[in-house]
Amino acid sequence: MKILILAGGFGKRLWPLSSQKSPKQLIPLIGNETLLQKTYKRMSSGFKSSDIFIATSKEHLVHIRKQLPNIKSSQLIIEPVRRNTAAAIGLATALISKKNPKEIIVTINSDHYIKNVKKFISKLKVAEGVIKKNPDNILLLGIKPTYPETGYGYIKLKKTFKKFNADKVYEVDSFTEKPKLNTAKRYLKNRNYLWNPAYFVFRADTMLNNFKSNLFVQYKILKKIQNKPSLLNKEFKKIKAISIDYGIMEKANNLICMPIDIGWSDIGHWQTIYDMLSVKKNDNVIQGKYLQIDSQGNLIFNYTDKLVSTIGINNSIIVETDKVTLVCQKDKAQDVKKMVELLSKKDFKKYL
């Protein structure tokens, strides 16, 4: 099985620390290693390094080579421009399948935290066995929701597909991307709904057949590149940006799902980082110079020599960089993405 680590995103909800030139997966948000380095180390603990591929954009290549100096050029899938996850996964699948159309691939995001790594590796190997026996299916790994998250996709389970020793695999009834809050609250109460962490396990030819059925224009471009890789720069930019969730998963009729419990978190916004680093309720999570009076439950990340001080400020996020100061309520952490989109429309692009 080939491990495809997706490392080409921006990480808008972790702005201003995460930026276009230095996105979240390439910076040390938690500890001294970057999220990409942590992900690569995690996967290397259970799979041969030669089976690990990195999908990323051209602008991040220098950073990735510096952070992962032992990775070979043949293991780097370089997108000349960003075209979202369908194009990234499609390109990698097309290039990997040129050598072996029956190769099994699993997609892994570079910005996740996993508490139980050994269990995760074990479940991935079970998933590989599932696809070996059921090559016409795409297997999704699902996580039981713990709160009504609106930033994730949800998988609705149907009846049992098959049992593999202690693991049950279910048919997928439907796939919903990023529901509204009331819908997410309803999903939380229904045990048939799981979070979608975007861990997809599939055979290369099966995924390309799904592109042919659901994203035919992309499929034709990918086949051109597969047949003649020198056309990558010319052809790839013609692809319309769309996520794998909207482009393939919501339309596919061959989805199955295996629930896993691995202590998973998507390091997707500042609230997540607070939840991971706080020891008890109302802790202040602090990085850098900070003084407070009567202030609780805050995340303070100060990346400057300046002092950040608060009086009577509670449940807030304050991120201080050389260029930008971000202040927002913790329960508005998802809206940082809206601020980034607003900046891109205004005359403030230099702050991205």
pLDDT digits (tens, 9 = 90+) for 95-148: 999 999 999 999 999 999 999 999 999 999 999 999 999 999 999 999 999 888
What's the pLDDT band for 214 if we cut at 50, 70, 90?
very high
What are the residue boundaries of the structural domains of the chain, listed by start? 2-266, 271-351
Among 78, 72, 79, smallest CA distance to 48 is for: 72
Least confident interval from 154-163, 199-208, 343-352: 343-352
Which pLDDT score is estimated for 169? 97
The residue type found at 147 is: Y
Predicted TM-score (pTM) of the model is 0.91
Which pLDDT score is estimated for 34? 93
Burial 215-225 (b: 16+ CB within 10 A, else e): beebbebbebb
Query: What's 119-151 look like in SS3?
Result: HHHHHHHHHHHHHHHCCCCEEEEEECCCCCCCC
What's the pLDDT band for 31 if we cut at 50, 70, 90?
confident
Which pLDDT score is estimated for 9? 81
- Angle, helices 204-214 vs 216-227, to 10°: value is 130
- Angle, helices 216-227 vs 84-99, to 10°: value is 40
Edge to edge, the sheet with strand 167-177 lists: 76-79, 52-57, 2-6, 104-109, 200-203, 138-142, 255-259, 167-177, 153-164, 193-196
On the question of pLDDT at 152 being above 90, the answer is no
Q: Among all chains, which residue has been given the structure tokens 């439950």?
A: 297
User: What confidence tens digit (pLDDT) does each residue in 58-89 have?
Assistant: 889 999 999 999 999 999 999 999 999 999 99
Q: What percent of the chain has pLDDT over 90?
A: 79
On the question of pLDDT at 303 being above 90, the answer is yes
Count Cβ atoms below 10 Å from residue 350 Cβ, excluding itself: 7
On the question of pLDDT at 346 being above 90, the answer is no
State the burial class of residue 227 (Cβ atoms within 10 Å of its Cβ: 0-12, 13-18, 19+). Answer: exposed
16 prior amide bond cis, ω within 30: yes
In CATH, which superfamily holds the domain spanning 2-266? Spore Coat Polysaccharide Biosynthesis Protein SpsA; Chain A (3.90.550.10)
Which pLDDT score is estimated for 66? 94
